Structures are given as structure tokens and as C-alpha cells.
Amino acid sequence: MPGDAVRRPFIETVGHLLRMIKFPHTVFALPFALMGALLAARGLPDVATLFWILVAMVGARTAAMTFNRLADRRIDADNPRTAGRELPAGIVTHKQAVWLTAASVLLFEWACFRLNTLCLALSPLALLIILGYSYTKRFTRYSHLVLGLALALAPVGAWVAVTGVVEGPALLLGLAVLCWVAGFDILYALQDMDFDRRAGLHSIPRHWGVRRSLHMARGLHVTTLLLLLLESFLRDLGGIYLAGVAIVSGLLLYEHAIISEHDLSRLDTAFFNMNGYISVTIFAFTLIDLLV
């Protein structure tokens, strides 16, 4: 049927776009955004606010990932690890990616408008950070921290969406996310050290090698745990939340235990599996703590 033929390419295109933006990786930032909303509301926020937070998250993350693929398309084409990605491989066209970026930015701005005045006022700064990250590895080895800052906007933004103000506990939670993301991004960058040197790109592993990079990632993750513990005191969270932090500690310990200076073969497991478990775990235990 002609209708089926039309629908099939459309569905395939949507599938390619979702793969391009690594849609399953939404699990990294979304639970922390929801956690920020929960802590700000001291429970469940109203349905309308929660809905627009989710819309803002979808818009911001889609814009950030698509813009990153556009900015890096030539670099990705030269890197054997990334040459098969949708843009350099020609599976997704440049025009499609540009339109998706523009639509996602508009969606994000509309969600901020529907939330409150401060969210809308801060939205250009948020876009500058999440889109500007894509160019940082061209001039600084600390791009991992900028990526951490981009994801840290998720819980802080959700907090502002609920309360209409920026508060200390929101910034503390954002800092915890910054350290967590920067730590695992340093680990992820280990696999591109040689390519980064050849391409003139910057990263902590490229400049300081495997051993020092592992130490830095561990230090950042220890800081994450300390900040999550401090959050419990600022928001008067109980034993269930602390049990969640304890589980996160174990997951981070395992993440670092399966990677060593002489064996990086399990980087994908450390990056994709463990960090997904970490974000979902801390969100779930925070939710239960607040509800109970």
C-alpha cells in the first residue's frame, strides 16, 4: 500500500534520528532533573510543572546532542570509532539534523516560557552552555567539566521550574552532577587518546595519560558522593536516601574496579551500564524517602 510505503521511511528516519542522539542515554540526566523537582517540591510537583520539565528536558537534550553531531561530523568521519555514526555515514542528512536542532531549541524555549519567568530568562544561558560544549575540546582539556556543567543544568533547572528561584541545595545537587559527569566522561575519553593527539583535540587523558586520568575521575566521583551526603543534611533527607547514596557508592566503586591502567576493555560497561544504574538509583531512593 502507498500509505505503508510513506510511513515506513518516516518511521525509519525517526529511528535513525533517535539513534543519532543516543536517546537511551537520556537516563543519565533525566533522573537527576526529576530528583531536583522532587527535592524542590519536598514531594511530587504538580502535574503541569512536571510535564513542562519533561518537555524542556527533551528539547534541551535533543538540541544538544544533534548540535554536537553537527559540530563534530568531520571529526567523527576521521575517527574509526565514530565514522559509522549517522551523520558522517550519510544515514541522517545535514539538513535533517539542522531542522531537528532548530525544532528542539524552539521546544525548549516554549517549555521554559510555560514554566516561569526565571526559567525563560535563564534559557539563553542554558543553551549557550549545552550547545557551546561541542566546541570546547578544540581549545581546552577541561571540556569534561563543561559537559558536567551542561548536565548539571538539569536538576538546577527543574528546581527553578518548581520554585521560581535558585537556591543553595539546587546548586549543590548540580555540582554533584557536574563532578559525576566529568568523572565518567574522563573515563570515556580514554578510548580516544591517540586519535585526539593526531587530530589536535584536547582532553584530560590526551594531556595527562591513563594513570592520572583515572585518579582524577576517582577524585571527582568521591566528591560526588560527599556532595550527595551534604544534600541529605540541607534537605533533611532520611535513611532511605542515605541507603541510595550507599548503593551509588558501590556502583561507582565497581565502575572503577573494572577499569585499570592496563585494561580498558570494559569501558563501555563502566560508561553505559553503571552510570545509568547510578542516576536511576539515586532518583528512586530520593522519591521513596520523600514519599515515606
User: Residue 137: what pLDDT?
Assistant: 95
Q: Please tell me the predicted confidence (pLDDT) of residue 216.
A: 97
Condensed to tens digits (0 to 9), the pLDDT of residues 108-141 reads: 999 999 999 999 999 999 999 999 999 999 999 9
Identify the segments of the chain with pLDDT beneath 50: 1-6
CATH 1.20.1440.230 describes domain 2-291: no
Distance CA 50, CA 162 (A): 8
Q: What is the pLDDT of residue 6?
A: 42
pLDDT value of residue 4: 46
Question: Residue 190, exposed/middle/buried by CB under 10 A (0-12, 13-18, 19+)?
Answer: buried
Positive or negative: CA dihedral 205, 207, 213, 217? negative
How many Å apart are CA 175 and CA 155, to the nearest integer? Answer: 10
CA distance 69 to 71: 6
Structural domain spans, the chain: 2-291
Q: In angstroms, rounded to a whole number, what is the distance separating the alpha carbons of residues 147 and 170?
A: 18
